[in-house]
Structures are given as structure tokens and as C-alpha cells.
Amino acid sequence: MFGTSGIRGQVGEEVTADLALSVGRAVGVDADRVVVGRDARESGRLLADALTAGLRESGTDVVDLGFAATPTVARSVAWEDADAGAVVTASHNPPEDNGIKLWQPSGQAYDSPLQDLITERVREETTDLQPWDGLGERERRHAEEGRSSEAHRRHLDALVDAVELSGSLSVVVDLGNGAGGIAVDALAELGCAVETLNAQPDGSFPGRPSEPTPENCETLAATVAATDADLGIAHDGDADRMRAVAGDGTYLSGDVTLALLARAAASEGDSVAAPVDTSLAVDDHLAAAGIDLVHTKVGDVYVAERASEPGVAFGGEPSGAWIWPGETLCPDGPLAACKIAALASERPLVDRLADIETYPIRRGSVETPEKGRVMDRVRDEVTDAYDDVTTLDGVRVNLGDAWFLLRASGTQPLVRITAEARNEQRCEAVLAEARDYLDAAIEAVDGA
């Protein structure tokens, strides 16, 4: 039921009001108070109502934030002395999708044991429904006309308190018609001159697709390059992700952004958590400062789990999820926007990019309806053939000057391939090596 970042799927197919009701009932078995919010998708209104109904049927009080960024909801769990938080969102997915993310009081997403518990309760229809006089209350905390909500204000104060800018910046923020408007407010309070793109919340995402990829951020990059802006910021639909553009219009890759933010957050002897598909460029940039990179499974849930451990100063995913455990264990896109603005105010991002050596990296995928059996075969063959193999998430082979990863997609009938080396020729050779193992495994499974 849960993927790498909550429950997610097409509305009317995988995600229905019935599912939201069941999840509300499952969470309500042992939660007395839950914070609920949603992104701009129109389907979110009915799904949030169904989720809230399931909670209240269980005697659980609901703090209803209405339209809010995911990190605002996640932070509000502790502020409201609640037992859990729930956001109705499909994050960066297209408008036909929606989903549910669940949060702990620490700001961390539900980890694997909690996900398994909720899944079992939904499957077994385990509930604790209350009689008419035991239903939970619903307290609406929506923003009043012309005013921000209390949750918005508290999050805004936390963002402004978390950073200091060395000088004023000109920043262009592309909200992607999503819930990240708090980033604009925070940057303005920090003294930045802010211009916006796609600032009107709209769950059909008319301005650009919700995921802030290089292709989807071309207008942002062009705007920054054509003006005197120092920085560009892009968020996804629920603002848990942040991507950046340097003052010359260069879109920062996820690995480069990870290297920049992690190096600034960590000190010598600290560790940084990042998934197994992270570039060698991050390892090298951090190692130069005596900072260790520790790998996790792919997914911000797993990065947050590792970031909660002592000695881990930062966690990040190249996809755009960034976690400062001293602030919150939720990926907070607006916080990341403020953090990278602080870096840009001290030294232009264009200059900082020159400090990070990047390497050829290739990513691809192969369709197979038998991805589980294929990966079992790959794991056996690769483990026998190489000395340095990790199976934390898929099969990752460390070749010293290069690496490759074969990993089943969590949501599609695909096996993903990633290969990286410190020169182009070696990268292509390693990619071909990985592809040979995958092709052989698919052939063996198909012929079985």
C-alpha cells in the first residue's frame, strides 16, 4: 500500500474515498489527536473529508489545516501536541493522482514498522469505532480572509529563525501552482526581493508539471538568466521538494545540490545520509571536509530514518528532498529554499559550483513484469561475481573508481540501471556491464 513516499496512485483507481476512510480508521485505533492538511488537488477535498471521517469515527480529534504545505503539516504535529499528521497529496505526481502521507510527532514520516501496521489494519479492517457520543471533534484551523493561519505563521517564524543572509538577494520562486507559498513569505521576511512564477494554487498544474525537473524548470532558468536575479527556486505540489537555479540560469543537479547543502550543514566527523543512487561527486566533496556519506534505501522515508540517528547532520535525496534533523525530520522545501539562499548570499552559487567535480553518470530502465524474480536472479549472479556488493536497496556494486546499481522500481514494472565512473569511457563500460547482468536475468526468468 505504501510506496517510497506514502500512499499514492490514480484517483478512482488505487486512491479512493473508501481507502482514505480506511486509513483514517486505521490511524485512529491508537491516535487521540491528528493534524490533517491537503495540497491544491481538487480531489484532495473529498479525500481529506473521508480521512477525517474515519478518524472522528474512531474518537480521534482532528486539527484541520485545510490547504497547507506538507512540511507545515508535519511540523504542526508537535506544535499541536498531536499523535500523528496526515497530508492528502500526491506530491510531484500528475493531477490525476493523489495520496496520503502520514507523519510522526518528530516530523518524521511513518517508518516501515508503522507503515506495515497501518497496512495490516486496513487489510484486516481493524477499527475502534465509537458510539454517537464518543466521536472525535474537528477543529478547523484554515486561514481567515487576508490572514495567515497559526500553523503558517509558526512555520514561517521557524524558517526565518533558521538562517541568516549576508545581504539582500533577488530571487525568482516558481511555485508550480502548489502549496509552497510560505517560501515566498520567508524569503521576503529575510530581506530578499522576490518575484514569483505559477503562484496561483491549482491542482491541475496549468503552469508546468508539478515535478521540478530541468525540463519543467526551463522558464524559471530562462527568467533568472535574463534578469538580475541571484537565485531561482522551484517547488513541487506539496513543497516537500526544492530545486535551485544559479544566477546565470544554470539548473543545479540533485547531486550538486546535495553536495552543497550537506557540506554546509555538516562538520568534520559528522555523517550525511543519502540514498544508494547518489553520485560519487557527493562522496568526494564531503570526504574532502572529513564528512562521511552513509547510504540508505531510495525514498525520503529511509533518509529520514537514518538522519534521526546520532552524528547524522543532514539527509538528502537528489530528487529534491532535504532534511536538517536539528530542525525537522520532514523534507522541508521552503527551509531548503532559505538555506540555499543563505549560501548564495555569502558566495554566488555559480562560483560554488566550480568547487564540485562532477562525473559521467548514466541512468536508464528496462521493462519487465517479473521485476521481483529478475532482481532475485541479478542478486545471486552479481553477489557471486564481485567482492564489494551491497543489497540494501537493489544491488549496488562498488568498483572503486566506478559503481553500478540495479534496482526494481517501487511503483512501475521496471528495473532501473544507474552507472557512474570518473571518466566517460569507463562509465559506458560499467553501464554495459550492468546491462548485461540485467538482460541475462530477464532472459533466464522469461525462459523458466
Alpha-carbon distance of 385 to 398, in angstroms, equals 12
Residue with cell 506538507: 70
What are 294's strand-pairing partners? 273
Alpha-carbon distance of 325 to 314, in angstroms, equals 6
Residue with cell 572503486: 400
Residues composing the chain = 448
Show the cell assigned to 169.
Answer: 538577494
What are 395's strand-pairing partners? 406
> Do 289 and 280 touch, CB atoms closer than 8 A?
no
Q: Which of 5, 58, 91, 210 is catalytic?
A: 91
User: Residue 5's closest CA among 75, 109, 98?
Assistant: 109
Q: Which amino acid is at 161?
A: D
> Do 286 and 272 touch, CB atoms closer than 8 A?
yes
* Cα diameter, the chain: 71
Residue with cell 512555520: 155
User: Residue 115's closest CA among 100, 128, 135?
Assistant: 100
Show the cell assigned to 340.
Answer: 540555499
Show the cell assigned to 25.
Answer: 480508521
> Do 419 and 403 touch, CB atoms closer than 8 A?
yes
Alpha-carbon distance of 247 to 233, in angstroms, equals 11
Q: What is the DSSP string of 358-374?
A: ---EEEEEEE-TTHHHH
Q: What is the DSSP string of 355-414?
A: TS----EEEEEEE-TTHHHHHHHHHHHHHHH-SSEE-SSSEEEE-SSEEEEEEE-SSSSE
Task: Tell me the CB-side half-sphere exposure of residue 126, using CA atoms within 13 A.
Answer: 13
Residue with cell 502549496: 179
Contacts of residue 447, Cβ cutoff 8 Å, sequence gap at least 6: none
The rounded Cα 40 to chain-centroid distance in angstroms is 17
Task: Tell me the CB-side half-sphere exposure of residue 197, using CA atoms within 13 A.
Answer: 25
Tell me whether residue 350 is exposed, middle or buried, using C-beta atoms within 10 angstroms of its C-beta: 0 to 12, 13 to 18, 19 or more: middle
Residue 91 bears catalytic tag: yes
- Report the catalytic residues: 91
